[in-house]
């Protein structure tokens, strides 16, 4: 069986993302000094980005531009207000999304090398998720309303996360590895559950009134996510308790 390349290193993608943001900002007329400050690097590094001597990334430039669009808009606001900069964690999140999509495309391109029905099912689902993510990102770029753009990007991010899960499942199936879960500490889980309990008790959709229909949907989204987080934490705690019970009687 042909092995697919490992996922792209997210850290290695960060310079490419900085470079692309720098190029976009420079094309909008912003100074090298301001660009360096807002993306968290030095002026010589920005000059290298602009000259194509550093952070060069030629694959899927259109996709990268869609992913960085919110950061570019935020960078413009930060430069104009002379306040703030893009945090490294934000760059890593974009890097992760890009790595997931590119790795997913490799899996899709390998379709036909195996006739295993499960792998075919997973690859088809992966293709759907990545296709949906790219279309939502493209639509968000063509949307002028801030709330609608945010909603579309949130849906795209969900599709990317779904693709990440499916691609991981493909990797497990292809490698034939046994799955053994390493569960978090119960005390930590209980602490997180307490936070989720408090968050779910206060419905934003009910308490924050807005005339904007999409803004209302976003608040409902947050409420639903909090309920989902609470259910998930309870399920994980149940798994931890089940594992402890099995170990105490010598099972497994």
- Residues 41, 123 share a domain: yes
Range of the domain at 236: 184-252
| 3 in any annotated domain | no
Closest CA to 4 of 123, 88, 98: 123
Which residue do the tokens 């602490």 mark? 191
- Residues 151, 35 share a domain: yes
- Residues 163, 38 share a domain: yes
What pTM was computed for the model? 0.69
Give the end of a domain, one of 179, 208, 229: 179
| 190 in any annotated domain | yes
Give the end of a domain, one of 148, 179, 210: 179
Which residue do the tokens 């990440």 mark? 164
With b meaning 16 or more CB within 10 Å and e meaning fewer, what string describes 93-110? bbbbbbbbbbbbbebbeb
Cα atoms in the 13 Å half-sphere on the side-chain side of 76: 12
- Residues 161, 247 share a domain: no
Using CA atoms, how far apart are residues 39 and 56, in angstroms rounded to an integer? 16
Using CA atoms, how far apart are residues 191 and 237, in angstroms rounded to an integer? 11
- Residues 203, 128 share a domain: no
pLDDT digits (tens, 9 = 90+) for 66-116: 889 889 999 999 999 988 899 888 888 888 888 888 778 777 766 555 557
Interior CA angle at 183 toward 182 and 188, to 5°? 140
- Residues 204, 103 share a domain: no
pLDDT digits (tens, 9 = 90+) for 145-158: 999 999 999 999 99
């Amino acid at each position: 069986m042909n092995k697919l390349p490992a996922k792209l290193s997210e850290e290695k993608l960060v310079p490419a993302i900085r470079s692309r943001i720098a190029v976009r900002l420079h094309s909008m007329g912003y100074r090298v000094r301001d660009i360096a400050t807002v993306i968290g690097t030095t002026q010589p590094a920005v000059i290298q980005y602009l000259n194509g001597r550093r952070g060069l990334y030629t694959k899927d430039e259109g996709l990268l531009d869609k992913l960085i669009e919110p950061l570019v808009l935020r960078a413009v606001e930060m430069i104009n207000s002379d306040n703030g900069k893009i945090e490294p964690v934000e760059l890593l999140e974009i890097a992760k999304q890009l790595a997931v999509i590119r790795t997913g495309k490799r899996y899709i391109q390998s379709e036909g090398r195996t006739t295993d029905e499960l792998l075919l099912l997973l690859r088809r689902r992966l293709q759907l998720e990545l296709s949906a993510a790219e279309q939502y990102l493209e639509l968000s770029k063509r949307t002028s309303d801030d709330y609608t753009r945010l909603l579309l990007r949130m849906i795209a991010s969900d599709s990317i996360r779904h693709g990440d899960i499916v691609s991981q499942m493909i990797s497990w199936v292809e490698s034939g590895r046994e799955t053994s879960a390493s569960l978090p500490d119960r005390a930590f889980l209980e602490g997180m559950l307490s936070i989720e309990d408090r968050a779910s008790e206060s419905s934003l959709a009910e308490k924050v009134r807005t005339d904007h229909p999409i803004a209302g949907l976003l608040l409902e989204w947050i409420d639903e996510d909090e309920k989902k987080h609470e259910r998930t934490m309870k399920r994980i705690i149940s798994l931890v308790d089940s594992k402890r019970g099995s170990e105490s009687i010598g099972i497994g």
